[in-house]
Each structure stands twice: as structure tokens, then as C-alpha cells.
């Protein structure tokens, strides 16, 4: 029995030469116990380091007993065990199930070493549950494709080598092993959606159609192929329509509605946004992209706002407001800016062109505003302008105004970061320079 399952386990793993070791997510339950036994055999045969990690959520009165059980199993298998304890917040609006999953993956990511493989015990029946939950949510192809067997994760890879093995096969194998396993009593609570599927619905489906899990897995594999195809198409369209992190509306207009929506989803995903509904994408196009020329439209997405400026769509954090701080700075210092605006540094220009050194009566500071009525004259420009007019000429979107670092010498504006130096502050050589490093939001997978 173990040889047959082990053979399939090995076939799903990448070449072992690409791994710097294995980390098994070990709950002590039936599935992860079988996984740990298979991983121990694989690690021994391939000469790989193996560790196990158990997350103590503290939700069950038996949680400490589970830790003791896991320690005993790992001791018998000579596998080092890491125990991570987390605390969940009841009544904060998120389900405990979702919180526990998030906390578990956070600890797994934190413990995974560079180049290491994380192995989880998800199996074929879990895939069927995932498909049914995706259908309940009205998910698209990405959701219907289910869990993938191999993906990047926290500097290593996340592998699910049991996705083609049924729960019944794992149970039969577990019965032949001497280690036993723990039973989480919360798995019987059908108020959780996944438990309802596992305990009530899926047994009926499999009683009527015994091959349900296998055929569902084939459908999910087809969905994964189609998702890969439309992702390739979206990336090709992005290369044509993208500009920095913005989208050119002119390049979107010739696309069919379905192709345009595909690109919009791709763009939102690149910037870490949650996938909007079809209705929300329709509003984005009609009320933001196609709004009248003199409008300043915005649309709230989940955690982001879609804005339009000079024929381009932008995704920005919600609730951006002008800053009012006065922040002292010295040459050679790095200043952490508020509200996720990054960092501003003053450095020597190494003999090249830069700002003239300040006089003793010119203390340096970084601000974000210019007093009403003050006129600025950028180097090389004829005549002075108000800052608002200059920002319009330099193509700065309205939501960034009041959020750009401005370097002051005393009470005089010397530099508007990333845009211009003011007349009278430029040194042809031997000066200083300001370096603004904007914060960059990570993209979601």
C-alpha cells in the first residue's frame, strides 16, 4: 500500500536537486501524518534535510495534547519539530477558520528557508471541496482551477504532492502505520462550510457518482490550463496598454469587452487588489474610464481606488490626503516619510551637479505644502508659477498633490522631489542631491 502511494508522491515532486530541504506542515491529523512518513522516506533516499512545523492555534482544549502527540511522532521518525503558537481574535469580523488559515501560512512562510520546499497534505477530496466552495462564491477560472501542486512561496516552493490521492487511500495507509493520529473535534462542526461539504454533501455525491472527485479534478485541471492561457493573453495586452503601473484608456478601447475585462483583472491583480465582480468592472469602465473629460472620477474597489488622469487609469490606496508635516533633515540622513510615502535622503552629489550647500541660517526641512500665493521658478524655465499650476504642467495626478516631498532651505523652496530644482539653488558641481524612494506595494499572486 505505502509503495503505491509513495510512487505517486514522488512523481509529483520536482527534481530533488532543486531543493535545499523539506518542511512539512504537520497538524498531527491523519493526512499530515501520512505526508510526514512519505516525506521522511523521500528525504532519507535523496539526502535532504527534513523538518516539521506544528501550529498551536489554542482553539481546542486538546491543543496541548496534539503538540505532545506530534512531538512523539517526530521523535520516532527522527524529524526535528518546530512548534509555533498563535492567538486568534474572536468576534473581530473574520471567521476563526479564515484567521487560523492565515496565521498558519504566516508562520509557515516565516519559518521556510530560502530554497526550501513546504509540503502540505491537501488531497483529492480537498480539491473537490475547494471546487464546490469556488462555485458557491461564483469564482472565475482561477478559483475553479483549485489548488496547484507546485507554486512559489516565501523564498521557496509550496508543494502539494497528494492532490491525486483520495482521502480513502490515505486512511487505508494510515491504518497500517504505528503512529496513530489526532482527531480535531471542530471537523465535525457543520456550521463551517468546508465541514458541511465534507460531512454531508460530498458523501452523497460520491455515493451517487463514485468517481466524482477524479472527474472534478480533471475539470479543475482544464480550468487551470484555460486560466494559464488567458493570463498569457492578458500579459500580452498589458505590454501594449500598460505604462508604468497605469493603463492607457486609448489602448483599452479597441478590445472586446471580455478581453478588456481580462486585462483589467490582470492589472488589478498585479497591484495586489482583490478581484472585482463583473458589475464592478462595468462601473470602472463606464464611470471612470469613460467619464466626461472635465470630471475627476474615482471608484472604490476592495482596498484600492481606481482614478483617471490624462487618459490613464490608476490604482491608488483609498483616502489619500495632503500631508502637513515639517520634518527636519540633515545632509547624509535618510528620512522615513509618513503615510507610506517612502523615504527621502540627502546625499553628496560626488562632484556632479546638485543643490548648493545650505548656509548656516538655512536649516533644511522636508514639507509637503507651499504657502498660498508663493511663486516658484524651476531652473531652465521662463517665469514663475504657483505650485498647483506647475504640478499640472508636470503631469502630477491630483491625488499626489500635497504628498510630494519638498525640500526647504529655511523658508525657501529648493527642490520638489522628482520634478524640479528651483532657480538659485542649483550648484554646477560639489553640491548635494535629494533622493526620494517611493514605497512600492507588493503584487499578489
350 is annotated as contributing to ligand binding: no
pLDDT, one tens digit for every residue, the chain (445 residues): 788 999 999 999 998 888 889 999 999 999 999 999 999 999 999 999 999 999 998 888 889 999 999 999 999 999 999 999 988 876 655 677 788 888 999 999 999 999 999 999 999 999 999 999 999 988 888 899 999 999 999 989 999 999 999 999 999 999 999 999 999 888 888 888 889 999 999 999 999 999 999 999 999 999 999 999 999 999 999 999 999 899 999 999 999 999 999 999 999 999 888 888 889 999 999 999 999 988 889 999 888 999 999 899 999 988 888 999 999 999 989 999 998 899 999 988 776 778 998 999 999 999 999 998 899 999 989 899 999 999 989 989 989 999 999 999 999 999 999 999 999 999 877 789 899 998 755 444 4
Q: Specify whether the CB–CB gap between 265 and 280 falls below 8 A.
A: no
Cβ count within 10 A of residue 89: 9
Q: What is the Cα–Cα distance from 94 to 160, expressed in whole angstroms?
A: 26
User: Can you spell out the DSSP letters for 58-117?
Assistant: --STTHHHHHHHHHHHHHHHT--EEEEE----TTSSS-HHHHHHHHHHHHHHHHPPTTPE
184 is annotated as contributing to ligand binding: no
For residue 374, what is the DSSP state?
-
The three grid cell numbers given for residue 410, joined into one nine-digit string: 529655511
Q: What is the Cα–Cα distance from 306 to 263, expressed in whole angstroms?
A: 15
pLDDT for position 444: 44
29 is annotated as contributing to ligand binding: yes
Cβ count within 10 A of residue 24: 26
pLDDT for position 445: 42
**CA distances to 239, 269, 387, 441 from 245, in Å:** 11, 12, 25, 11
28 is annotated as contributing to ligand binding: yes
Q: Give the chain's count of helices (H) and strands (E).
A: 14, 23
Burial of 440 (C-beta count, 10 Å sphere; 0-12/13-18/19+)? exposed
Q: Report CA 309 to chain centroid distance, whole Å.
A: 26
Q: 18: Cβ–Cβ under 8 A, 6 or more apart, which residues?
A: 115
27 is annotated as contributing to ligand binding: yes
pLDDT for position 325: 94
395 is annotated as contributing to ligand binding: no
pLDDT for position 227: 93
Task: Supply angle C-alpha 180, 183, 187, rounded to 5.
Answer: 150
Residue with cell 491630483: 398
Amino acid at each position: 500500500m505505502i509503495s503505491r502511494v509513495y510512487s505517486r508522491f514522488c512523481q509529483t515532486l520536482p527534481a530533488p536537486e532543486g531543493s535545499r530541504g523539506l518542511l512539512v506542515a504537520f497538524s498531527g491529523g491523519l493526512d499530515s501524518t501520512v505526508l510526514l512518513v512519505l516525506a521522511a522516506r523521500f528525504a532519507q533516499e535523496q539526502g535532504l534535510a527534513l523538518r516539521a512545523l506544528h501550529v498551536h492555534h489554542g482553539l481546542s482544549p486538546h491543543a496541548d495534547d496534539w503538540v505532545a502527540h506530534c512531538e512523539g511522532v517526530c521523535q520516532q521518525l527522527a524529524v526535528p519539530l518546530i512548534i509555533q503558537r498563535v492567538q486568534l481574535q474572536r468576534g473581530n469580523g473574520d471567521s476563526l477558520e479564515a484567521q487560523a488559515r492565515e496565521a498558519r501560512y504566516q508562520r509557515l512562510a516565516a519559518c521556510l528557508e530560502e530554497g526550501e520546499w513546504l509540503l502540505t497534505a491537501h488531497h483529492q477530496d480537498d480539491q473537490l471541496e475547494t471546487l464546490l466552495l469556488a462555485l458557491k462564491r461564483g469564482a472565475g477560472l482561477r478559483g475553479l482551477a483549485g489548488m496547484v501542486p507546485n507554486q512559489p512561496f516565501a523564498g521557496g516552493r509550496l508543494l502539494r504532492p497528494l492532490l491525486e490521492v483520495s482521502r480513502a487511500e490515505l486512511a487505508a495507509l494510515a491504518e497500517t502505520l504505528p503512529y496513530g493520529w489526532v482527531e480535531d473535534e471542530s471537523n465535525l462542526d457543520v456550521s463551517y462550510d468546508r465541514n458541511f461539504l465534507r460531512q454531508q454533501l460530498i458523501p452523497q455525491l460520491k455515493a451517487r457518482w463514485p468517481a466524482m472527485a477524479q472527474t472534478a479534478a480533471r475539470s479543475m485541471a482544464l480550468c487551470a490550463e484555460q486560466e494559464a492561457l488567458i493570463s498569457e493573453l492578458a500579459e500580452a495586452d498589458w505590454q501594449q496598454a500598460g505604462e508604468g503601473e497605469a493603463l492607457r484608456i486609448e489602448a483599452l478601447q479597441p478590445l472586446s469587452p471580455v478581453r478588456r475585462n481580462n486585462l483589467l483583472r490582470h492589472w488589478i491583480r498585479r497591484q495586489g487588489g482583490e478581484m472585482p465582480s463583473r458589475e464592478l468592472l462595468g462601473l470602472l469602465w463606464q464611470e471612470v474610464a469613460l467619464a466626461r473629460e472635465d470630471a475627476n472620477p474615482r471608484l472604490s474597489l476592495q482596498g484600492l481606488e481606481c482614478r483617471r488622469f490624462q487618459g490613464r487609469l490608476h490604482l491608488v490606496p483609498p483616502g489619500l490626503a495632503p500631508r502637513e508635516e515639517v520634518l527636519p533633515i540633515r545632509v547624509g540622513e535618510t528620512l522615513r516619510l509618513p503615510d507610506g510615502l517612502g523615504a527621502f535622503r540627502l546625499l553628496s552629489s560626488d562632484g556632479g551637479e546638485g543643490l548648493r550647500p545650505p548656509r548656516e541660517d538655512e536649516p533644511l526641512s522636508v514639507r509637503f505644502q507651499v504657502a498660498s500665493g508663493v511663486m516658484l521658478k524651476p531652473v531652465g524655465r521662463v517665469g514663475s508659477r504657483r505650485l498647483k499650476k506647475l504640478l499640472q504642467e508636470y503631469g502630477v495626478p491630483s491625488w499626489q498633490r500635497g504628498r510630494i516631498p519638498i525640500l526647504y532651505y529655511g523658508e525657501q523652496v529648493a527642490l520638489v522631489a522628482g520634478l524640479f530644482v528651483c532657480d538659485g539653488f542649483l550648484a554646477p558641481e560639489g553640491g548635494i542631491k535629494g533622493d526620494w524612494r517611493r514605497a512600492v506595494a507588493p503584487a499578489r499572486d
